[in-house]
Structure 1
Amino acid sequence: MRHEKVDMIFQAAVEVFAERGFDQAKMDDIAQVAGVAKGTIYYHFKSKEELFAGLINEGIEKLIECAGRHMDNDEEPVAKLQNLIKAHVYFFIHHAKLAKLLLNEAFGTKERQRHFRWKIREYIELIEKVLIEGKEKGQFNINHTLETASAIFGAASVIVLQKLYHMEDRKVAEMEKELPAMLETLHLLVLKGLANVTDL
């Protein structure tokens, strides 16, 4: 069982990293927000880089878990993909600071980029699995499943990120009102696109 102070540190780290960015964030600030001694953070994480990597792991694992919960194994691939995209948008709305952190800081140092790409690959492979299933069943007309999965991740992420910045400091309930428009856009862009790719 994970130590409860790790959860407190992660929550504080999201706040501080999201507000100040990786380079400007200090372990002292994270310790203060978490209400723990700085030594407690270093007991669990050797460096700020390691803490950030742990945070990335945590965030993407939660995203994968959320997507998995929304997909029924008995569903057809089209429904699975639709529910995965809905879960993706819903997750980012409900974890706005984490979403901004994941997408903004993913393009930092080479080390952070490498770690992000390695971890996000797990999620993209989940999307790709649905695409392959749909392709095999003749529901998706698609040639490059990995590239398409990456594009779906990018489209779903950016549409939410733009909305988060546009509606900065709005409550989750207000953001949820924007869900139908975002999902309709992604549905037309992704699901209709996959079904009608030969018409282009």
Structure 2
Amino acid sequence: MPIAERKERERSARIKLILNAALKTFAEKGYHGTSMDLIAECAELGKATIYYYFKSKDDLLLSVLENGIREFFNLMEQEWDATDDLLEKIQAIPRVGARFFADHPNYFKLYYYLTAHPTLNRKAMRQLQPLILEKTRRIQDLFVQAQKSGLLKPFPTDKLVEIFGSLVMGLGQFLYVDARPEVLQEKARLINEIFLNGTRTTQEDTT
């Protein structure tokens, strides 16, 4: 293996190690209870190494959040690429959310912490807004296409996406009740069933 390629692999592996340690520490201690010393200890690296890759705790928090957003949407895009069916693409969103939270509960714990600290949350979201808009635009486009195809009612698309998104994020709450993957997937199935078909019975349901 060429030296440059080996060094790049080592660099990527070290960054991944630091990000995982930072996520774990932020999730367990909260942003305000986390120090670069604690992250270095969790990663089993020297603090100078942490600072070599990340200039500050703020920089590290943003990198952790960005990594989570990209990982979530990478999973989503794999599901979307596997089908041309618009409703199936929409139904994949809660399923991926359930799988992501089951596999990475610390991301939801950090998200939940940020929602309880609005000043910190606003600061982080302001920095991440371009990435969030880029990624969520694909979801909005899916809903627009489904509405144009007559598959969804013509509610305001932005509000529809916001409500659907809040239901998906709410899946993380069940981590504190029963974090088994099959339980989260059942909740995801119910989100799809209720969101797309409603809860009200029809004549067809009662016959």
The TM-score, its normalising length taken from structure 2, stands at 0.82
Match of 2:195 among 182, 190, 197: 190
User: Residue type of the partner of 2:197?
Assistant: K
Contact 2:25 / 2:38 at 8 angstroms: preserved in 1? yes
* Deviation at residue 118 of structure 1 after TM alignment: 4.2
Counterpart CA distance in 1 for 2:23 and 2:152 is 37
Task: Tell me the TM-score normalised to structure 1 length.
Answer: 0.84
Shift of 1:7: 0.5
Instruction: Answer yes or no: is the 8 Å Cα contact 2:98–2:185 preserved in 1.
Output: no
How big is the shift at 1:38? 0.7
The aligned amino acid for 2:108 is A
Distance in 1 between the 2:68 and 2:36 partners? 19
Aligned residue for 2:14? 5
Q: How far does residue 145 in structure 1 lie from its aligned partner after superposition? A: 1.6
Within 5 Å, give how 1:34-183 maps onto structure 2: 34-72=43-81, 74-106=83-115, 107-109=118-120, 110-158=122-170, 160-167=171-178, 175-183=180-188
- Unmatched 5+ stretches in structure 2: 1-7, 199-207
Q: CA deviation at 1:73?
A: 6.2
Alpha-carbon distance in structure 1 between the residues aligned to 2:127 and 2:62:
7
The 3-state SS of whatever aligns with 1:25 is coil
User: Would you say how many aligned residue pairs link Structure 1 and Structure 2?
Assistant: 186
Shift in Å, 1:125: 1.7
The root-mean-square deviation of aligned C-alpha atoms, in Å, is: 1.9
List alignment gaps of at least 5 residues for structure 1.
194-200
- Runs (4+) off by over 6 Å: none
